[in-house]
Amino acid sequence: MIEQIPAFVGVSSPIATALAMFYLVFTGRLIPRASHDAVVRVLQERNAEVVLDRGNWQSAASLANQTNADLAKTNTKLLETAAFSTHVMSALQENATGGTHVLP
């Protein structure tokens, strides 16, 4: 039974296997374990960074809320100053025309 198998089949199997391995390596479908471990390590580090950044949104939101509160206080002070300036300017205008100014 074995005598009926052609001789080139016994020789071609290791050659075909070697060619298949070279093909897989050169096309990037088969990589060494060290390269795979390096890629896995980089992806794990990136995943850790994403998890850390996801946890930092609370501090960023707190800073944004503090900034908005400071802007609201500043706007309130500016509006008070604007109202006072308007009152003074209208009083000066009335006094310049000879009118009397009545305090509200």
Residue 20 banded pLDDT, cuts 50, 70, 90: confident
pTM of the model: 0.40
Domain segments of the chain: what residues? 65-97
- Contacts of residue 87, Cβ cutoff 8 Å, sequence gap at least 6: none
Q: Which long-range contacts (CB under 8 A, 24 or more apart) does 87-90 make?
A: none
User: Other C-beta atoms within 10 Å of 94: how many?
Assistant: 13
Where would I find the beta strands (DSSP E) of 1-104?
none
pLDDT tens per residue across span 60-96:
888 899 999 999 999 988 998 998 998 888 888 888 7
Amino acid identity of residue 96, one-letter, is A
pLDDT in tens, 46-61: 999 888 888 778 888 8
